[in-house]
Structure 1
């Protein structure tokens, strides 16, 4: 069964590889990026997101079965906050009504294992409040210092994974039959990471903070294949998850227990139900 996909960040990296593989399977793909694809749009602005979603839906013939928001930046600048969080969430919200009309709608966003790394709490709170003005103001403050500018990226990726988990079970997504999930790659070999990996000293630093014991650095296809499954009709029950396709970085960094923190609350709920 052929499907219609809208992919942001489709001009390069993970988005481009996903679009390529989907087209090889005869699916229709509408790419959204600054240039070089079907729809040119600037996802760093509210107007650009709205117009980009409108044009993408028009290019898709008014029908969309799946959306893969892949566009992202790693610059220690406020624009990263705008694109990585609001460029995904607002773009998706604009397309939700069309998605809900599909017989098998699906959404998978690109987060990052950087969602597990140090972040700025104030910026994260602004993201989770969907307050772009506050988020950009805080990102501007962080960008003024090279030591804190890199917190913008990690904060935006943590926010995406939290947004997915918060929104996925709700009426707009699960209630409309739309599985909403995310993937979190490790170090992916793309144009965005080329220069960093070419510097032996910086590459060694990356390997320290992103340990990938399974097969090391990954290519874009390893992420694209997971995105394709999550947005296929076969995925019927994954909801609100961030899938760490990261060569084991999550397992190394968080260890074997990511559940224990909530055991007391869960036990209390069961006790109250049984009373």
Structure 2
């Protein structure tokens, strides 16, 4: 049975791979991106995020079977607050009525293995409090302080924490809507190409994200998992952060973590 699923960041990388998988199985996909999409919007602004929610709601006639947020940026700047965090949270929360209206609404969001790495606790707290403007200011301060690399893991750690509390909040589990996070390792996408092609940066990534199982992944690897998470087959998996990382998380964190 065909399902209607919205995908942000659909023009490239994991999002584009997911669109191909969903359409191949017969789903109707509402694509969202800055270019070449059904809804061309900029998720880096509150106006763009609101337009995405309104546009998706209109196109699905108020009944959305699945939502996957793949949109993100790896450029260490305050933009990460707007796109990586608010670009997911505001869409998921804004589309909750449409997801709950489906007989099998499903949500999956793209986090990162970097969510396990050192972050900025102040920035994480501001994000979780919904203080986007203050979080943007904090991210700008981190850039000025020479600590821009703390921004990305902060946004991804905050996404994981938000999802784990939201998934069991009213309107989600009790409405039959699972909400999960995938945490990819190094994925071979246009966003990572510059790093992968630089031998020095590749060595840094190998140390930070060791992937003993098959090395760096093609975008289809996380996309296949996302496709299952938003399928009707997923009846009981919710609130999980699932690592698609070739064993990086298991390598970096001791078994005693659990």
TM-score (norm 2): 0.98
Match of 1:250 in 2: 249
Tell me, which stretches of 5 or more residues in structure 1 are unaligned?
260-275
- CA drift of 1:239 comes to 1.4
Q: Using the alignment, how far apart are the partners of 1:83 and 1:30 within structure 2?
A: 19
**CA shift for structure 1 position 211:** 0.6
Q: Over alpha carbons, which structure has the higher Rg?
A: 1
1:10 match: secondary structure = coil
The structural deviation recorded for 1:64 is 1.1
Contact 1:75 1:150 in 2 (8 A): no
Whole-angstrom distance in 2 between the partners of 1:166 and 1:73: 24
Structure 2 partner of 1:8: 8
Q: CA deviation at 1:133?
A: 1.4
Distance 1:112 1:169 in 2: 21
Paired residues in the alignment total 258
Query: By how many angstroms is 1:15 displaced?
Result: 0.6
Q: Whole-Å Cα distance in 2 between the matches of residues 11 and 78 of structure 1?
A: 22
Superposition TM-score, scaled by structure 1 size: 0.92
Name the counterpart of 1:189: 188
Structure 2 counterpart of 1:213: 212
**Equivalent residue, structure 2, for 1:116:** 116
Give distance in 2, aligned partners of 1:59 and 1:219: 30
What corresponds to 1:71 in structure 2? 71
Structure-2 separation of matches of 1:196 and 1:244: 21
Secondary structure of residue in 1 paired with 2:133: helix
Q: Is the CA contact (8 Å cut-off) linking 2:33 and 2:39 kept in structure 1? A: yes
Q: Aligned partners of 2:235 and 2:26: how far apart in 1?
A: 22
- What displacement does 1:60 show? 2.8
RMSD after superposition: 0.9
How far does residue 100 in structure 1 lie from its aligned partner after superposition? 0.3
Match of 2:154 in 1: 155
Q: Which residue of 2 aligns with 1:269?
A: none
Which secondary structure does the structure 1 equivalent of 2:55 belong to? helix
Contact 1:104–1:178, Cα closer than 8 Å, also in 2: yes
Q: Distance in 2 between matches of 1:22 and 1:177?
A: 21
Listed as ranges, the matches of 1:234-273 within 5 Å are 234-259=233-258
Give, in whole Å, the separation in 1 of the partners of 2:143 and 2:33.
24
Residue aligned with 1:244, SS: strand
- Measure, in 2, the Cα distance between the counterparts of 1:57 and 1:144: 39
CA distance in 2, matches of 1:253, 1:131: 31
Whole-Å separation in 2 of the counterparts to 1:234 and 1:213 = 30
Moved over 2 A (4+): 59-63
Q: Deviations over 1:156-186 (max 9, x none)?
A: 0000011010111111211111000010000
Aligned counterparts of 1:13 and 1:57: Cα–Cα separation in 2 = 25
How far residue 57 of structure 1 moved from its aligned partner, in angstroms, is: 2.2
Superposed displacement of residue 220, structure 1: 0.3
